[in-house]
């Protein structure tokens, strides 16, 4: 009877406990995966991490992996609105937690000339695609039309100019002179308009014709043959008008 009891206890113990062949520790069966295996969960995770690091050093595997992940993300964002909302909420929470770290990393990166060259190359490659260019233009237009964003943008630059002043390049006047030589007609008309404003022949308004806000205005000419037919626009509206003409 004693031998039978000992055998039953031994078998029941082996059913509950198992030995890991990696670390050599005897652990509960719950610490192992349900599909079995010779090593516990901790050891298996460590091996998986080492294997993934080795694979991610291979550039060909990284390209394939990144392409698949991007395709999966774009398809899921377009089809599943709940996933999109969750992703946006998670991104906002993560940014609030790690705001200081992100600023420190950005400051370090912007001092590195190699990183700045890479970013410039990436921007040129991104904007070379007409679809990305249109997407960027639409995004910027939405921002500019938002009054809250415009106020924040204006307040930020007012504070910045009050602290540091307007730092122009050393060859600023040379660039203006070169532009006048390359574009003699537009330079001549700009001088005429400035002289007319000084003498009082033309009154410069304070409100932009498109956004209808009080700002510093620029004289825009649709036809240079009529120099005094002027559309008074702010800097942002003038820039948008020329960008839209270039891309259409």
State pLDDT tens for residues 216-235.
888 888 888 888 888 899 88
Half-sphere exposure of 199 (CA within 13 A, CB side): 7
What mean pLDDT comes out for the span 87-94?
90
223: phi > 0 → left, psi -120 to 50 → alpha, else beta; which? beta
CA dist 160 and 58 (Å) reads 45
Measured torsion, CA atoms of residues 42, 43, 48, 54, in degrees rounded to the nearest 10: 130
State pLDDT tens for residues 48-71.
888 888 777 888 877 777 777 778
Query: Which residues in the chain belong to E strands, given as ranges?
Result: 17-19, 26-28, 217-220, 231-234
Q: Which residue has the higher pLDDT, 166 or 95?
A: 95
Banded model confidence at residue 15, pLDDT cuts 50, 70, 90: low
Asked if residues 190 and 198 have their Cβ atoms less than 8 Å apart, the reply is no
pLDDT for the residue 246: 44
One DSSP character per residue, 121-182 reads HHHHHHHHSHHHHHHHHHHHHHHHH-HHHHHHHHHHHHHHHHHH-----TTHHHHHHHHHHH
Is the pLDDT confidence value at 29 over 80? Answer: no
pLDDT for the residue 137: 85
Banded model confidence at residue 181, pLDDT cuts 50, 70, 90: confident
Domain positions in the chain are: 2-52, 129-167, 172-247
Task: Tell me whether residue 31 is exposed, middle or buried, using C-beta atoms within 10 angstroms of its C-beta: 0 to 12, 13 to 18, 19 or more.
Answer: middle
The chain-wide mean pLDDT, for the chain, equals 81
pTM: predicted TM-score of the whole model, two decimal places: 0.36
Residue with tokens 């307007």: 166
Is the pLDDT confidence value at 248 over 50? Answer: no
Banded model confidence at residue 134, pLDDT cuts 50, 70, 90: confident
Percent above pLDDT 90 for the chain: 3
pLDDT for the residue 245: 59
State pLDDT tens for residues 167-177.
666 777 788 88
pLDDT for the residue 14: 52
CA dist 232 and 208 (Å) reads 6
Tokens of 150: 């415009």
Which has the minimum average pLDDT: 34-38, 183-187, 229-233?
Answer: 34-38
Is the pLDDT confidence value at 11 over 50? Answer: no
Is the pLDDT confidence value at 97 over 80? Answer: yes
Percent above pLDDT 70 for the chain: 89
Q: What is the DSSP letter of 201?
A: S
């Amino acid at each position: 009877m004693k031998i039978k009891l000992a055998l039953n206890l031994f078998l029941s113990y082996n059913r509950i406990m198992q030995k890991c062949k990696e670390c050599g520790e005897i652990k509960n069966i719950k610490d192992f995966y349900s599909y079995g295996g010779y090593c516990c969960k901790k050891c298996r995770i460590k091996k998986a991490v080492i294997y993934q690091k080795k694979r991610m050093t291979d550039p060909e595997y990284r390209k394939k992996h990144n392409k698949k992940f991007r395709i999966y993300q774009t398809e899921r964002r377009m089809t599943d609105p709940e996933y999109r909302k969750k992703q946006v909420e998670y991104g906002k929470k993560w940014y609030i937690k790690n705001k200081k770290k992100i600023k420190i990393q950005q400051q370090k990166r912007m001092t590195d000339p190699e990183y700045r060259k890479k970013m410039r190359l990436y921007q040129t490659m991104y904007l070379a695609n007409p679809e990305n260019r249109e997407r960027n233009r639409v995004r910027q237009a939405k921002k500019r039309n938002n009054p809250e964003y415009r106020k924040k943008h204006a307040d930020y630059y007012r504070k910045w100019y009050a602290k540091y002043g307007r730092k122009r390049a050393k060859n600023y006047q040379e660039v203006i002179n070169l532009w006048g030589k390359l574009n003699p007609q537009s330079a001549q008309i700009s001088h005429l308009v400035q002289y007319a404003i000084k003498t009082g022949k033309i009154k410069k308004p304070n409100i932009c014709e498109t956004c209808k806000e009080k700002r510093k205005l620029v004289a825009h000419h649709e036809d240079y043959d009529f120099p005094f037919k002027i559309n008074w626009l702010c800097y942002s509206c003038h820039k948008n008008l020329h960008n839209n003409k270039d891309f259409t």
